[in-house]
C-alpha cells in the first residue's frame, strides 16, 4: 500500500460477531474502523418489531432495547477489545 493512503475497515456492530475479530492484530494495519451502526431494524438480525434504525444509545427500557445494538455499545466494545 502507498504510505499516502489510509486503510479503513467497514465493520460490524453485532455483539455476537465482534468476539471473533482479532482487533489487536488488525490495529497495526488499519488506520481507522468504520463501525456500521445502522440498519438495526431491517430484519437482518431477526427482528420482528420496529425500532430505531440507527440507535445512538441503549434504552433503559428492555422492551425497547435490543441488548447491545446501539452505537454507544458498539464503540464501547471496540474500545474494550483494544481498538
The pLDDT tens digits of the residues spanning 5-41 come to 899 999 888 777 877 888 899 999 899 899 988 766 6
Closest CA to 37 of 64, 65, 14: 14
Grid coordinates standing for 47?
Answer: 427482528
- Is 53 a member of any domain? yes
What domain range is 76 assigned to? 6-83
Task: Give the count of domains, the chain.
Answer: 1
The DSSP letter of residue 70 is S
Indicate the helix (H) or strand (E) that contains 10: strand 8-11
**Rg of the chain in Å (alpha carbons):** 14
- Is 1 a member of any domain? no
pLDDT range class, residue 74, cuts 50, 70, 90: confident
- Is 19 a member of any domain? yes
Q: Is 40 left (phi over 0), alpha (psi -120 to 50) or beta?
A: alpha
Indicate the helix (H) or strand (E) that contains 34: strand 32-35
pLDDT score of 49: 60
- Is 49 a member of any domain? yes
Amino acid at each position: 500500500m502507498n504510505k499516502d493512503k489510509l486503510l479503513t475497515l467497514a465493520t460490524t456492530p453485532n455483539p455476537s460477531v465482534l468476539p471473533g475479530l482479532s482487533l489487536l492484530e488488525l490495529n497495526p494495519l488499519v488506520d481507522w474502523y468504520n463501525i456500521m451502526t445502522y440498519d438495526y431494524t431491517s430484519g437482518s438480525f431477526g427482528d420482528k418489531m420496529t425500532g430505531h434504525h440507527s440507535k445512538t444509545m441503549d434504552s433503559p427500557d428492555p422492551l425497547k432495547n435490543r441488548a447491545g445494538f446501539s452505537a454507544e455499545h458498539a464503540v464501547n466494545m471496540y474500545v474494550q477489545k483494544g481498538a
